[in-house]
Amino acid sequence: MPSDAARETEEGFTSERAARVMAAACRSAGLDSDGARLIRLGENALFRLAAHPVIVRIARSTDYLSSVRVEVAVSRWLAGEGFPAARTVDDLDQPLVVAGHPVTFWHLIEEGDRKPTYGELGGLLRDLHAMRLPAGLELPPYEVFGRTDLRIEKAAGIPEDDREFLRKRGRELRDRLAELRFDSSKGPVHGDAHVQNLMADRSGRTLLIDFENFSYDHPEWDLMVTATEHHSLGWQTAEQYAAFVGAYGRDLRDWEGFPVLRGVQEFKMTTWLMQNIAEGPAVAEEYARRIASLRDDDAPRHWQPG
């Protein structure tokens, strides 16, 4: 859980503050920040530099420093192995810490005209899971429930009955997970393996991005995302999911432990959306739809991407 000081930093994580941190980090790294453009402000702030083909990524506080260090180490490992993935700028000492924010610099990926496919996602995960970690690269175990407990306690604008239901559901899932036995060996796991974490560049090459949840754990945690989206939500066509399974070589739904992992993924998707209900009625309606269907395991999940 973030410290009090870190929470103060996070609560003040505005675009203006992020821009000041970005400019200071660029000065320290010898890069020109003039004309830099903010392209995302969320868990991280991302700026695209105008003077260099570089993305500057700023984390919310030093509580994220260990995971940022892992991101840099993973990027350099994958680059050394020739794995198609986002790359940090090699000749800079990273991460920098500026005003309490870890900062990293990444080579810009110029997107091409096409979107990555589910077959490509399955193939990249297959190749990733077959890799061996080098000596000296230590990855944490996969954080199954992440920040769900904190989100449940801090969420504003939800009925207290929802909050208590989610607390209970979290306890039930932990109990079920404790009884689950994995047959697979542990290895490198992306930790947020959905097709939106792929980018196709202008040469047509598909790259894996976003390493903040990289872990050393069972590969089922990566397969869980797409299997749940297809089985529960129908977000992929039969052909898209078949391409994913065919490229990877396994359909997680055939495993007896899939219902537990499906429950975990649906729980995480609901609590993630819950923290954003103040954004407007569409998000609030989608949260209400999700929480209502979670109360009935047999109910259809007519969820929309959020």
How do residues 17-43 score in pLDDT, each as one tens digit?
A: 999 999 999 999 999 999 999 999 877
Whether residue 165 has pLDDT greater than 70:
yes
Question: For residue range 78-92, what is the model confidence (pLDDT) as tens digits?
Answer: 999 999 999 999 989
pLDDT of residue 192: 93
Q: Name, in order, each residue with C-beta under 8 angstroms of 164's C-beta and a sequence gap of 6 or more.
A: none
For residue 298, what pLDDT is reported? Answer: 76
| Top-confidence residue, 25 or 276 | 25
Q: Compute the distance between CA of residue 213 and CA of residue 43 in angstroms, rounded to an integer.
A: 12
Whether the per-residue pLDDT at 288 is higher than 60: the answer is yes
DSSP label of 278:
G
| Token pair in block for residue 258 | 């899939």
pTM over 0.85: yes
User: What does the pLDDT read at residue 8?
Assistant: 34
Check if the beta carbon of residue 302 is closer than 8 Å to that of residue 285: no
pLDDT for 3 beyond 60 = no
pLDDT > 50? residue 206: yes
Whether cis (ω within 30° of 0) applies to the bond prior to 116 is no
pLDDT band at 7 (very low <50, low <70, confident <90, very high): very low
**104-161 per-position pLDDT tens digit:** 999 999 999 999 999 999 999 999 999 999 999 999 999 999 888 888 988 888 899 9
**For residues 275 and 254, is the Cβ–Cβ distance under 8 A?**
no
How confident is the prediction for the chain on average, in pLDDT?
Answer: 92
**CA atoms of 60 and 43, how far apart (whole Å):** 7
Distance, C-alpha 206 to centroid of its chain? 17
Q: In sequence order, which residues have a C-beta less than 8 Å from that of residue 22 and are 6 or more positions away?
A: 33, 36, 45, 47, 56, 58, 103
Report the distance separating Cα 34 and Cα 36, nearest Å.
6
Reported as a pLDDT band with limits 50, 70 and 90, residue 9 is very low
Q: Does residue 4 have a pLDDT over 80?
A: no
Contact criterion met (CB below 8 Å) for 212 and 71: yes
3-class secondary structure, 187: strand
Task: List beta partners, residue 96.
Answer: 103
Q: In the chain, where are the structural domains located? A: 4-107, 118-294
Share of the chain above pLDDT 90, in %: 80
C-alpha distance across the termini of the chain, in Å: 25
3-state secondary structure (DSSP) of residue 32? coil
| Inter-residue contact 96 to 25 (CB < 8 Å) | yes
Q: In the prediction, which pLDDT does 135 show? A: 92
Whether the predicted pLDDT of 103 surpasses 50: yes
Return the CATH number of the domain spanning residue range 118-294: 3.90.1200.10
Helix, coil or strand: residue 58: strand
Torsion over CA: 212, 223, 186, 294 (sign) = positive
Q: What is the pLDDT of residue 13?
A: 81
* pLDDT given at position 183: 86
Collapsed DSSP state (helix, strand, coil) of residue 259: helix
pLDDT at 10 over 50: no
pLDDT band at 2 (very low <50, low <70, confident <90, very high): very low
159: how many CB neighbours lie within 10 A of its CB? Answer: 10
Task: Tell me how far apart the alpha carbons of residues 30 and 1 are, in angstroms, rounded to a whole number.
Answer: 34
Comparing 246 with 282, the larger pLDDT belongs to 246
CATH number of 4-107: 3.30.200.20
Residue 251's pLDDT band, with cuts at 50, 70 and 90, is: very high
Selected residue with higher pLDDT from 306 and 172? 172
Q: Place 305 in a pLDDT band, splitting at 50, 70 and 90.
A: confident
